Structure 1
Amino acid sequence: MFFFKKLIIFLAMSWFPLMVNSSQICKSDNTLATTPTNQFIDNGNGTVTDKKSSLMWKKCSEGQSGNDCSENSAVTYNWKEALEEIYRINSNEGFAGYKDWRLPNIKELHSIIEKQCQSPAINLEVFPSESIELSGGFWSSSPNTWGAIWMAWFGGKGYVDFQQKPYSYNVRLVRGGK
């Protein structure tokens, strides 16, 4: 029964943003920004640095490129493919001169959910995107006790949940911290 309830909630959260207007909604009058733009430094190389955590993030989801992430489309990966892609990036030329990119842990990934905004619940000035974050989940590196992996979802108001490794989701890389 628990599985079916979780499946119904997942389907509702995944498809709801696609059924409504896809414009981001931000409530700056009564909710403080959790990821204000001035908290980040745009490094001018496809990365941003969070001054609060000292983490360096890729601005675009894997597969996307360009200063506004509008070139190409985001690519989804199952858990094994995501780890292989990160290894490939770091083994080859890296990105922005760095070869130590990794999946963020769930606490790090949760830290970029913008609680002032929804659909998507992310600061689009810092992390520009097409519509991928409206419904897509993002892998973290954090396993849960049932062998699944914790994820962040930027659809709706943004939340964390877990998913099984065979399913395909988005990847946003980070470096530093830990």
Structure 2
Amino acid sequence: MRRDISEGHQVSTANGINGATTNGNTSSVEELDILVIGGGFAGVYLLYQLRKLNFQVKVVEAGSDLGGVWHWNRYPGARVDSQYPVYSYSLPEVYEDWTWSCHYPDWEEIQEYFQHVDRKLGIKKDTVFNTKVTDATFDEKSNQWTVLCDTGKTFRVQYLIASTGFAAKRYICSGPLANKLNW
């Protein structure tokens, strides 16, 4: 049984049976303790904290840089709707030499902040960019997840953490109740 990450459905899969195969190079499997999906604020923080606990961990990020939703929200006038402390890590090594230019920074300053965080914490060295998770299968015998990515990369991990955020992908309600709801 696998969970279809993109749609939230459970479907059964067959690997190599009746012509069905995995999507990617199965000879190149990277084994880790933990894989975090998403390189936004939560994913970056998780990577930092889990490395401190000596876990072998990586982040898989769909974008080409850190920032999560702030990597994608690059349009004129885009800025945060909460004051900067909400968009800051409470880590001395990060905040000691960072000063926000205003209380509600724009997307460019958020991107600069993520670059600063990377310089201080070395986040990018354990982040795989331009990569989407397409499938995650849990094997109860080995107690591990096999995670397939759209690039052909495969991970085998004990823990899989979806840190994709609530604003990462819109979801439109469907089904019999969708038309009855008062939007």
Normalization by structure 1: what TM-score?
Answer: 0.23
- What TM-score comes out, normalization by structure 2 length? 0.22
Larger RCO: 1 or 2 (CA < 8 Å, sep 6+): 2
Higher strand share: 2
Which entry has the higher C-alpha Rg, 1 or 2? 2
